[in-house]
Chains A and B, each alone.
Chain A
Amino acid sequence: VSEASPSPRRQPGRLEDEVVAALAAADGPLTTGEVLDQLDSGLAYTTVMTTLTRLYDKGIVTRERTGRAYAYKLTSPESRVARSMHGALEDSPDRDLALARFVDELEPADIPLLRRLLDQLQKR
């Protein structure tokens, strides 16, 4: 198949986009093999696996173990926001102060919600 294709090797960015598009089109999480089936191209299993790992490292996809393999899905917008909030906090020179400022500027409606979530976290 690779001989018939005029483009010798696809750039990693293009492949990542195709994988993301395939995951977005799917009904649920996909294993590496299922992603490979959804790509319409004679790619090697390992190439797709590498791509998925790279997307996972970037936080673009999340994964869960299903049997022996991982199943991947796109990171939800909510988790992406949470991730970037954590990232910003890690990057701040004074973590405690940054967190205190963040709490200071909370919307009044968010306070009971946050309190309940913290309570739940403590009980666990």
Chain B
Amino acid sequence: MHIAVYLPLLTAAVLGLTARWLAWQLPPATATKLITAGAVVTSLAFTFSLGVLAFLLVARIPTAAHLGSWSVPVLEGENPVPPLASAAAVVVVAGALLSYAVTMWRQVRAALNARAYCARIGGEPGRLVVLDAEHPDAYALSAGRGRIVITRPLLRMLDAGERRALLAHERAHLTAHHHRYRLAVVLAASVCPLLRPAREAVTYSTERWADEVAAAEIDDRALVAATLARTSLLVDAGPRRAPVHALRAAGPVVRRVEALLRSGPRQRPLLVVAVLALMLVSISASLDAQHDTEGLLEHANVTSASGH
């Protein structure tokens, strides 16, 4: 209990700190699934552990103790968690729940906006919609059953091969449901700030994933790399993107181009096992903390029953 209840904080921190590196090291589809699963599991364990810590303080409040018929002296005497840690946990849990609610609300609103936008631009599910916009732009919309949106100025600047590569990349986002992984990680990070770097890692790994699907589909890694480099320059040159965004995107794009120019990604079974072990530690630590807390409450209950 002493250590177990704090372990999920550690595992979440470890995953958060290594997420970006994992996204670089692992093949993109593996990285996406593993980081997402890891983020969801560790964020749940994190919230659960904090919940236990918070509960141990709340249970000492006379009204709560009365409701549960627990002895406050026993809870205070045998509780290994310092009150300050519990008090901090109460604050963090409240913050986490609030942050989750706000994030969820924003995501729902964004999804509704995207759906309305999708209805406005028309087109068929999963298919290309050409927009007569002023600036070069390309993206995959996940709303409905998805749309690929490319503006006419961008299409005019690309040759036939590049258009094919771009279409294959955007289509891969839709067919592999990349938005689901991104959403899961955003929600996980909303309850556990330690996992924030995982959002960027999964954004990167899903982009890499789409690059690899496109490269396999058109059987030309160099062409996909060239298309990526060209479109990112053309799109970023548009005044609609803030310069900050362009600067931040530059790093990952270079990295993606380099990855495409190398041979296909290698599997790294040891890394996968390490992350799975991390998830297992998270889960078992949570279960252990729960078990110990139940034991403590049972003890406090027995004592209070025999004491009166």
Evaluate whether A6 and B167 lie within 8 angstroms (CB atoms) in the complex, with A16-B127, A24-B152 already known. no
Tell me whether B299 is interfacial, beta carbon within 8 Å.
no
Q: Is the CB of B132 within 8 A of A77?
A: yes
* Residue of B132, B163, B171, B217 touching A25 (CB-CB under 8 A): B163
A120 adjacent to chain B (CB < 8 Å): no
Q: Looking at B122, B126, B127, B160, which has the most chain A CB atoms within 10 Å of its CB?
A: B160
A77 proximity list for chain B (CB < 8 A)? 132
Q: CA separation between A58 and B122, bound complex, in Å? A: 12
Contact for B164 among A6, A13, A40, A74, CB less than 8 A: A40
Shortest Cβ distance from residue A47 to the other chain B in the assembled complex, whole angstroms: 15
- Shortest Cβ gap from B235 to chain A (Å): 16
Interface of A is mostly: helix
B 148-165 to A, binary, CB cutoff 8 A, 1 in contact else 0: 101010011011110110
CB distance from A18 to the nearest CB of B (A): 6
> Are A6 and B130 in contact, CB atoms less than 8 angstroms apart?
no
User: What count of chain B residues pass the 8 Å CB interface test?
Assistant: 23
Q: B208 → chain A, closest Cβ, in Å? A: 20
Is A65 positioned at the interface, with any CB of B under 8 Å from its CB? no
Complex contact B128–A25 (CB within 8 A): no
Q: A38-B160, A39-B160, A40-B161 given as contacts; is B167 within 8 A of A21 (CB)?
A: yes
A residues contacting the other copy or chain, number (CB 8 A): 22
Is A17 engaged at the interface, CB distance under 8 Å to the other chain? yes
Chain A residues, CB < 8 A from B155:
21, 24-25
Q: Is A25 a contact of B167 with CB atoms below 8 Å?
A: no
Considering only CB atoms, which chain B residue lies closest to A23 in the complex? B130
B164:A18 contact, CB within 8 angstroms: yes
Q: A5, B219: Cβ atoms under 8 Å? A: yes
Chain A residue with Cβ nearest B123: A60
B128 contacts A20, C-beta separation under 8 Å: yes
**Which residues of B have CB within 8 Å of A122?**
none
Return chain B residues, CB-CB under 8 Å to A39: 160
Q: Which of chain A's residues have a CB closer than 8 A to the CB of B171?
A: 14, 17
A residues sitting closer than 8 Å to B (CB atoms) are 5-7, 13-14, 16-18, 20-22, 24-25, 38-41, 58, 74, 77, 80, 84
Given A24-B152, A39-B160, 9 additional A-B pairs, CB 8 A = A5-B219, A13-B127, A16-B127, A21-B163, A25-B155, A25-B158, A25-B163, A38-B160, A41-B164
Which 5 residue pairs are nearest across A and B when measured between Cβ atoms? A40-B160, A17-B128, A24-B130, A25-B155, A21-B163
